[in-house]
Amino acid sequence: MRAKKSELLTQWRRDVRLLPGAEHLDLPTLDDHIPTFIDELIDALEAEADERVAEAHAGGSPSAHGLQRLDAGFDIAEVVAEYNILRDALQDLVELHGLILQGRAARILNRVLDEAIGVAVKTYAAQKAVELQQRREEHLAFVVHDLRTPLSAMSVAAQALTESLPESTTSNDAAVMVRTLQRNLGRLDALVTKVMLEQVNLVSSAGRKLELREVDLWPLVQNLLHDLRPLSDASQTRVLNLVPKDFTVQADAALLTQVFQNLVSNSLRYAPHGEVLLSARVAQGRVECSVEDDGEGIPPERLERVFDKLETDPDPEKSGTGLGLAIVKQTVEAHGGEVTVESRPDHGTIFRFTLPLRAGADTGNS
């Protein structure tokens, strides 16, 4: 069998290539630990006692193989299948030489393969569960983050409503209702903050499936700016929607709204008493959207890290959760676009991101 190892591997590779997860793997990735595992299996068959079966797995190669196959995109059934393909290839090799695999040799072969399958599947499943939990936690953190901006707008609006009431009405029903509103907004904000503080260990993509459709860009931006008006009024910042009214993009409307919301909220924080411009144009067959402010800008040493998770301003008065721009980057990239930032201290900042045009759109306009 040792002399026929190359022949055995060739047959295994040919048959494993039929698995969907293995079709596009390069040879080293496809092989992974299998050549070493075959040597371990042969050692076990040549040993004089069954105790060597346990030694065949002392190096932990099936465990590492389960992790490697998860990274390679195998599903768990394919992990099992490739070991059974090796079992069949070994049987074919034995029969080809007029031998019969039975008795102690058959027991050792099946035990080694079954143990390898068990270890690889256990490791695969455990890591898959960890990654799923991480995605759920990160998605929850992102959703909670996106609640902060409308909550802030509601709080500012409630405060403005309180200040607009005449002093003589402080005890009437309207004043009581406004105070109840403020109190419950405060409780909700505290709950959101608590959840966010529990979700700071982030690792991977939010994992939300895009719901793509044709989206009219101008009304989407206009509706968002209407909802954020209490914030812009409070910071005395002028926010202008310069998006052409005939622009249509292919996007997930809810996620696209989050992108604009996070960028505008960021600009309002850094450009009080200033101006924020939202615009869009066609560039190289795609829609390029931008959010520009004339605020204090971003220091050069922070510019490369602004899209990193948990990266936030060291100034306590301006620091956020460190998730807003990370959400922007992940969402734009999920749409097949890219996001960039340019900034000069004391001159302002401009964020740009690209989106696909709607199907059949004219790409000649600018």
Model pLDDT, residue 260: 93
pLDDT tens digit sequence for 125-179: 888 888 877 777 666 666 666 676 677 777 777 777 776 777 666 557 777 777 7
pTM of the model: 0.49
Exposed/middle/buried for residue 74 (C-beta within 10 Å: 0-12, 13-18, 19+) = buried
* Upper half-sphere CA count for residue 68 (Cβ side, 13 Å): 16
pLDDT tens digit sequence for 169-179: 655 777 777 77
Tokens of 98: 């007029």
Distance CA 317, CA 221 (A): 27
pLDDT band at residue 114 using 50, 70 and 90 as cut-offs: confident
Lowest-confidence segment of 60-64, 198-202, 251-255, 287-291 by average pLDDT:
198-202
Model pLDDT, residue 317: 54
Q: In the beta sheet, which residues pair with residue 356?
A: 286
